Amino acid sequence: MTDGTTLVGTWNYPTPVRFGVNRIKELPDATARWLRSRGLDVIEVEGRMDGTEELPLDCFACARARRRTLLEAAETRGVRHIALGHHADDVVETWLLSLMYTGNSESIPPVRSYFDGAVTIVRPLYELQRRELVRLARLANFPEPVARCRREDEARRERIRRVFSALGRDQSRVRRQLYWAAVRQYEESEEQD
């Protein structure tokens, strides 16, 4: 594997890279076939927990376990970049979840380095909205995503989505305003560091 190989989590819509790693559960056959048909290698990486997590995992602990798995897989294979499929709606939802449930105003950064810069996570879809990605996925004949979590319907993130749905026609404008607020907050926090 070369130094420029990229690792991508495939639980969201994939980005054009050469190497893929799945999340903790098994990658659906249709998704694996779609990735391979575009010249991507699909390697299953077994998720692991560090033993301190309480089961069942909440969303933050699950995300931390998945991120740790990806980072360790990347470091083990000499992969320097991981491209994740987080989009603008994820940024807004994560920022609100953080504010509401932890009292912190942290959001998803577009780029973050780990292990003193040995591995960098990038989010190339950061500014795109979910509906834009759904349309793009249809145009690319990407298989319909399967439910990512058995607890998704009861998850806090789903509650946030229902609040947005209740906004009706204002939803898009409110999401856009919150997105830019989250971006500004992230940029200000980076300037302070």
DSSP line for 42-95 = EE-------S-PPSSP-HHHHHHHHHHHHHHHHHHHT--EEE----HHHHHHHH
Of 61, 66, 65, the C-alpha closest to 12 is 66
Alpha-carbon dihedral 128, 134, 139, 141, rounded to 10 degrees: 130
Q: pLDDT tens digit string along 109-154?
A: 999 998 888 888 899 899 999 889 889 888 988 887 665 566 665 6
CATH number for the domain harbouring residue 68: 3.40.50.620
Tokens for 170? 């204002």
| Rounded Cα–Cα distance for residues 181 and 123 (Å) | 18
Count of structural domains within the chain: 1
**Neighbouring-strand partners of residue 19:** 7, 41
In angstroms, the CA 187 to CA 190 distance is: 5
59 inside domain: yes
- Of 167, 183, 91, the closest CA to residue 129 belongs to 91
Condensed to tens digits (0 to 9), the pLDDT of residues 65-114 reads 778 888 888 888 888 888 888 899 999 998 998 888 888 888 889 999 98
Residue 106 resides in a domain: yes
Task: Evaluate whether residue 122 is within a structural domain.
Answer: yes
Residue 45, pLDDT score: 72
Task: Assess if residue 1 is contained within a domain.
Answer: no
Residue 15 lies in a domain: yes
pLDDT of res. 91: 92
Q: d(Cα 97, Cα 116) in Å, to the nearest integer? A: 28
Q: Residue 41 forms beta bridges with which residues?
A: 19
pLDDT tens, residue by residue, 168-185: 999 999 999 999 999 988
Residue 99 domain-assigned? yes
Q: Which tens digits make up the pLDDT trace of 10-37? A: 333 233 322 333 333 456 677 778 878 8
Is 50 exceeded by the pLDDT of residue 53?
A: yes
In a domain, 33, yes or no: yes
Confidence of residue 47 (pLDDT cuts 50, 70, 90): low
Domain residue limits at 69 = 6-192
Which pLDDT does position 175 carry in this prediction?
92
